[in-house]
Structure 1
Amino acid sequence: MTTIGLIGSGNIGSTVARLAVAAGHDVVLSNSRGPQTLQDLVAELGPKARAATPAEAAAAGDIVVVTVPLRAYRDVPVEPLAGKVVIDTNNYYPERDGVFDALEDGSTTTGELLQQHLPQAHVVKGFNNIWFDHLRTLARPAGSADRSALPIAGDDPAAKRAVTEFFDSLGYDTVDAGPLAENWRAQRDTPVYVTPYGVFGELPGTPASAQVVREALAAAKPTAA
């Protein structure tokens, strides 16, 4: 099994950690407030989890999930992520993150921003289009008729294969949305964002097959962020 590093342990980060531990992976959690603030979550997750600093989580992970507010992406440690597969969950909310001109005018994407910050890492966009409670509850074993799919985007084929295998272990199929420049297709307010999996804030969710996700990605219209 794989060690998953988490930079950010909020709703998505903690949900990924729970799914990863359930799948047999080790997890190393971190946040901006220090390992001591994660002790309750680590205790809940059990012996396959530990808390660390972001740099330690980056160094420990075979795959590292960056799940921080977009405004903080420049704080992600660079050196320990060189050569690593990095899953970027970030979404752009100007009211929270401040205005990013390059996102407003559509000249780049959130995934490309993180890739520019981590030039030696292999960034794959993922986990950014689903509400965390739907992510938690829609996981299904491989071959299940009601298995859901999640979109990914990235420039490195080997990194996308690693993420696909990881998602499979968590209970999800994947749909390849193309290179990192295409991750706008899964950003907020696009057809594949949240709604294929049900109503935001409501359980149970609705399984979204690979075909449903593929059609939603194709229906996205290129606009500024």
Structure 2
Amino acid sequence: MKIGIIGSGFIGGALALKLSAAGHQVKIANSRAPETIDAKALTSGATAVWANEAVRDVDAVILSVPLAKIGSVAPLLADLPKNVAVIDTSNYYPHRDGKIDELEAGEIESLWVSKRLGRPLVKAWNAIYTASFDTQGRPSNAVNRIALPIAADSEKEFDIARELVDATGFDAYYSGPLSESWRQQPGAPVYCTDLSRAELPSALASAKRERLPELRDATIRAFVSHMESEGGELTSEWTVATFRSISARQ
């Protein structure tokens, strides 16, 4: 598959590495020049390009940028053919993105992004922490493989995302239409809790939308405290345990 990735941070860079290693043709871009992309993201065959090149002649575009920057990405997708799947990995964190009135009022993050882009999208890879994404991928037949939720309104777009999620080492699970994607937002029981495919359905069902902002912010406070008072490393084990503990307060 031909894939363009916009965003070369932790998740974008890891996606470039994993998907190209799986045999896909990957182009990756950021908001600057190709030479500013970390060389590690290119070690399995991905190509660094300008942003406008990343969306040309592709089957899927993956957006891995801070949610506050989504507006700057929209012009790049203006002429993108309708049959190209757009997959969004972003999450809303007010301390990073600034407060966005619509989201503060409860609008679903993915629907807000879709409006800004002016086209449908798929929500995937947003519900796994960087450390787990880097280290916990497993072959398709592995026992207790971590499953990731995918929200989509189109079966075709879901199928594309499912293939790519599997290529990165994780089971793909349909979490519902985009209108239900709040179930995988920060604070939800499936968010960064490294659940198996068998565990995911009940976790999705147990999410309480009105509690998500409070639990999201509690997680941030726990992270800050861990780093400042304990000087602790944000390992996969610590982060998963913390996300599980806090999201259990649903």
SS of the aligned residue for 1:142 comes to coil
Residue of 183, 186, 199 corresponding to 2:184: 186
Aligned-residue RMSD, C-alpha: 1.7
Q: In the alignment, which residue of structure 2 is the partner of 1:159?
A: 157
Counterpart among 162, 168, 171 of residue 170 in structure 1:
168
Deviations 1:82-103 (A, max 9, x none): 4120110110011111111211
> TM-score of the superposition, structure 1-length normalised?
0.87
Cα distance, 1:130 vs. partner? Answer: 0.7
User: Distance in 2 between the 1:66 and 1:4 partners?
Assistant: 11
Q: What is the distance in 2 between the residues matched to 1:218 and 1:12?
A: 26
Query: What SS does the corresponding residue of 1:27 show, helix, strand or coil?
Result: strand
Instruction: Give the counterpart letter for 2:146 in structure 1.
Output: S
> Which residue number corresponds to residue 244 of structure 2?
none
User: Which of the residues 133, 136, 143 maps onto 1:135?
Assistant: 133
Are the aligned partners of 1:73 and 1:114 in contact in 2 as well (CA < 8 Å)?
Answer: yes
Identify unmatched segments of 5+ residues in structure 1: 198-207
2:53 alignment counterpart:
56
Whole-angstrom distance in 2 between the partners of 1:3 and 1:123: 17
Query: Which amino acid is 2:164 matched to?
Result: F
Q: Aligned partner of 1:174: which letter?
A: A
Q: Structure 1 runs of 4+ off > 3 angstroms?
A: none
- Secondary structure in structure 2 of the residue aligned to 1:81: coil
Deviates more, 1:56-65 or 1:11-20: 56-65
Give the Å deviation of 1:116: 1.3
Which position in structure 1 is the counterpart of 2:102? 102
Superposition deviation, residue 55 in structure 1: 1.8
Q: Deviations over 1:3-62 (max 9, x none)?
A: 2211001000011111112211121010012112126245533xx311112221112431
Q: How does 1:25-40 map to 2 (within 5 A)?
A: 25-38=24-37, 40=39
**Structure with the larger RCO, 1 or 2 (CA within 8 Å, 6+ apart):** 1
- 1:142-200 Cα offsets, whole Å, 9 max, x none, are 12112111001111111011111121222221111111111111111111111x22xxx
Give the Å deviation of 1:80.
3.9
SS at match of 2:43: helix
Query: Could you tell me which amino acid in structure 1 is paired with residue 10 of structure 2?
Result: N
Equivalent residue in structure 1 for 2:200, among 205, 213, 217: 213
TM-score (norm 2): 0.78
Matched length: 209
Q: Distance in 2 between matches of 1:153 and 1:189?
A: 17
| Paired letter, 1:211 | A
Letter paired with 2:50: T
Q: 1:43 to 1:138 in 2, by over 3 A?
A: closer
CA contact (8 A) 2:18 2:168 kept: yes
Distance 2:55 2:42 in 1: 21
Paired with 1:191 and 1:131, the residues of 2 have a C-alpha distance of 13
Distance 1:166 1:43 in 2: 18
Contact 2:190 2:203 in 1 (8 A): yes
What are the equivalent positions in structure 2 for 1:1-20 lying under 5 Å apart? 2-20=1-19
Which structure has more helix as a fraction of its residues? 2
What percentage of aligned pairs have identical amino acids? 38
1:23–1:188 CA distance, 2 compared to 1 (3 A): same
The answer to whether the Cα contact below 8 Å between 1:19 and 1:136 also exists between their aligned partners in 2 is no
d(CA) in 2 for partners of 1:28, 1:87: 15
Letter of the 2:109 partner, please give it.
Answer: T
The structure with the larger Rg is 2
